[in-house]
Structure formats: C-alpha cells, structure tokens
Amino acid sequence: MDFTRVSVLCLGDLMLDRFIYGAMERISPEAPVPVLRLTNTREMAGGVGNVANNIRSLGGRAVLLGLRGHDTPGTALRALIAESQGIDDHTITSDTRLTTCKTRFIAANQQVIRTDEESVAELTSEERRNLEAAAMRLLPDVQAVIISDYGKGVCHPDLIAAVIETARTRDIPVFVDPKSLDFRRYRRATCITPNARELGAAAGFVTDTLEKVEQAARELMSQAEIDAVLATRSEQGMALIVADQPIRSVPSRAREVFDVSGAGDTVIATMALAHASGASLEKSMHIANAAAGVVVGKLGTATADIVEVTAELEAQLDTAAENAPPANCMLLSQEDAAALVERWKMQGMKVGLTNGCFDLLHPGHVSLLTQARAACDRLVVALNTDASVRRLKGTSRPVNPLADRAEVIGALRQVDAVVAFDEDTPLDLIQGLRPDVLVKGADYTLGQVIGADFVEAQGGTVVLAKLTPDRSTTAILGRVIR
C-alpha cells in the first residue's frame, strides 16, 4: 500500500478534542461525587480534523477545509494543524461561530464525563459562499473527497450538493460520513459510511441482522442515487453494499477495546485513500477494517499508520487461516474455494479461473493452463463433475472419474486450487468465486464465454488462450479405438 501520491479534500465540521487526565482517589466532602485530581492535558484536531490526521498518518496528503471561531479553541486548532506535516490548512475563520470543543475527563483509562462547547447554527450566506469557492478551487488537485458531517452546521445541503456534483463530473470519488437521517442530502455520493444504528434510523427499522443492513442500504441507495454503503457494525465488523452486486462483509478481529473515539474517521479516511489509489471498494473495506482495529486499541482520538495497518491485515489473515483450507490443490468444496479466493484477494492477489472436463490430460491442456496462470497470481481450475461430463460428452465419458482428474490437475505447477461444479455451465460457480480473470480457449468468442459479462461487470478481464492444434481428448480416444 502506497498512499503518498494521493491527496484528499477533507470538508466538514472541525472541532478541538481535548483530553484531561487525572486520578480519582476520594469522594468529595461537598457532594457524593468523585474528585478528579488533574495530571495532564492533551489536545488534538477532531471531527474532519481527525480525518485529515488519519490521511496524514497513513501517508496521504490532506487538504483540510472547514470553519473555526475567533476563540481559544480556534487558535489551538490552527496551531495543531500548522504543526502537522501533510495537512494543507484551508480552514476559514468565522466571526459568528464558536469553535466546537469536546473536553473528555479521563481516569484509569476510562472517560468519566465529557463537556461540549459548540454552535450548531446554519451557515451564513457568506460562510457558505466562501466554503464553496474554496472547495471549487481545491478540487482539481485532489484524487478523492471526504465530507465529514457531524451535524454542527458546516455541511449545508447546497454546499454538499455543489461539491459532490463538481467532484463527480471530474470522476473524483466522494465519501460521506453522514449525520443527517435523510440520505438524499448526500445524493450521488460514491460511498457513505454510517454505522448500523444510523443506517437503521435513516431507513426506519432496526438493522440488527446482516439481511436488514442490506435491505436498509439498498433502499436508501436507491432513494439517494448513492453507489455504495459501507455499514460499520461494531464487533460484527463491516458490510459493503454496492449497487448490482451481492453484499460483502468482513468480521472484526477479537481484541481489547479501549476507546472507539474517532474510529469512524479512520474508516472513511482509509476507504478514500485506498480507493483513490486504485483498490476496489471491497479491498478498501478490508484495509479500512484493519485500520479501525488499530485505533480502537488506543485511548483517545487516535490514528493509524501504514506499518500498523499492514501488521493488522497480516494478523487478520493469520486468524482467517486458522479456519481456512490449506492453500494446496486438493479438491475443494465451493464454499472452501470461495474462502480461499477471498483470502488471496485480501492479500492483493489477482485470481484467475478456467474450467473444463480435463479428462485425459494432453499438451493442449498444459498450454491453456500455462497461459491462464501467466494472466493471474493464483489459478483455480473448475472441473465438471462426472454427471456433468456425461450430459455434455455422452455416457462413455469421462474416462477418468472426478477424483482422479482433480488429483492430476492439482499436481501441475500452474494450478493453485481445484473445485468442481455439477451444472452444465460454471456460471453459478463464477458468480460465487468472482475471479479477476476468466480464461477459456480461443475456439470460443467473447460472447460465447459463460460468465464473461459478469466478470467484466465486476472490473475483471476475460482471456482467450491460444489453442494447440490437433490436441484433444476426443482425438486421443479416437486413436486408441482405431
């Protein structure tokens, strides 16, 4: 992962996060409340400022745009941003608004109380014009946009609409952390990142199962013309719902959780960086899930860096491997094959798939498999079951039963996994495995390749491998009979 060439416009509600630490050792003689003996104070940028900090920590360049007041928290924010290398400060000072300041009092690594100073007034006409003008000036130099709506007034509907529309006309993806329950406010966003509770509140029903999460997401996506929803589900991980694609989810790894403050900021920052650098939304979700796992193990509004996220991804893969099939060429069930393909994809590998009877192995088969493996990092071979071969080739076939064919194919160095399908075509299997590359022989045209349209719609490619003349199982059997 290399995010150093990605710049992200971070627009939204800016705030100061203040953490005051102390020790509680006695009860006050004035009232039945504990006395907090203060020891030290820490301040950092919160809200969209924490999103920018995460962009910076992960190696990207953050372009920060928001409002701050003429007050002590505003001055502190300006100083904090100035100290942060990797954040371009384009914040605007407001003459009418307080700087939002959240002060958390902490004892024994736990928050005991939080106080908020804030203004939730709607933007003035001048503030909105200034923010929109700044956004239009900055958009040509960024590769992604994050809108961080904390409901403090900066994310005015007209401002959001103008930024999203301009970004989309430039093919710049827009990620939104929503606060409003009316998702039409974020119309035409690339991806919004609510938690499951927010998603349910917006849809009007409880989203306590994965099926309900998907139902709510698809309804809201349709209403707001949004491309995708990434729903964070606390200890249950994340679910990604993309239009015209099946739901995808990733579990969280068991860990000790100290503080979830700012975890949503980390998720959206990582999603935007990963997608802008070329990763699919699904792969970006895996990376964001790892980043969130890092920050919830820290106290306070935290960030994750590339080294920590890479280590967490490896730890997640190790955890998944405990229940995953070994990466060998034994005949896998379709469920185990799907899990193995998913694991390879999480590691950034391109997975290819080819299919056939592969009854009597010959040089034509070897050539096809060699070309297929050259087009990907891992190759899965799907074999017709014996019943499927009989329906296609006649009652005298196959010569070799499925177990034998699988063992021979699996022994080839070009093949990384073998799976079987009983249907006349491998379409269901292709849709289940979702390969990045689909390979068939050049005796097919692109329009004849089963599953080609599905693979291409997923962003994959179809390869038509060159054939070896006069090499086929049928020809071999004919020579044997003669």
Which residues contact residue 183 at a Cβ distance below 8 angstroms, ignoring those fewer than 6 apart?
192, 202, 220, 223, 224, 226
Residue with tokens 């923010």: 131
Q: Which of 265, 359, 416, 436 is catalytic?
A: 265
In sign, the C-alpha dihedral spanning 155, 161, 165, 166 is: negative
Is 196 annotated in a binding site? The answer is yes
Which residues contact residue 180 at a Cβ distance below 8 angstroms, ignoring those fewer than 6 apart?
149, 151, 155, 186
Query: What Cα–Cα distance (Å) separates residue 465 from each residue in 366, 373, 395?
Result: 11, 11, 29
In sign, the C-alpha dihedral spanning 346, 352, 356, 361 is: negative
Is 355 annotated in a binding site? The answer is no
What tokens appear for 77 in the block? 């924010």
- Is 17 in the active site? no
Q: Name the residue among 169, 184, 282 with its Cα closest to residue 225.
A: 184
- Opening angle at CA 110, ends 256 and 17, nearest 5: 105
What tokens appear for 265 in the block? 């900021």
343 close to 426: Cβ distance less than 8 angstroms: no
Q: Compute the distance between CA of residue 481 and CA of residue 127 in angstroms, rounded to an integer.
A: 87
Which residues contact residue 271 at a Cβ distance below 8 angstroms, ignoring those fewer than 6 apart?
175, 191, 193, 230, 281, 284, 285, 287, 288
Residue with tokens 């289940």: 432
Query: What Cα–Cα distance (Å) separates residue 108 from each residue in 20, 39, 86, 318?
Result: 12, 12, 33, 32
Torsion of CA 62, 66, 71, 73, to 10 degrees: -40
Q: Compute the distance between CA of residue 279 and CA of residue 173 in angstroms, rounded to an integer.
A: 12
Q: Compute the distance between CA of residue 314 and CA of residue 368 in angstroms, rounded to an integer.
A: 33
Bridge pairing between strands 331-332 and 417-421: parallel
Q: What is the DSSP string of 126-151?
A: HHHHHHHHHHHHHGGG-SEEEEE--S
- Opening angle at CA 252, ends 251 and 256, nearest 5: 155
Q: Which residues are annotated as a binding site for ATP?
A: 195-198
The residues that are catalytic are 265
The annotated binding site is made up of: 195-198
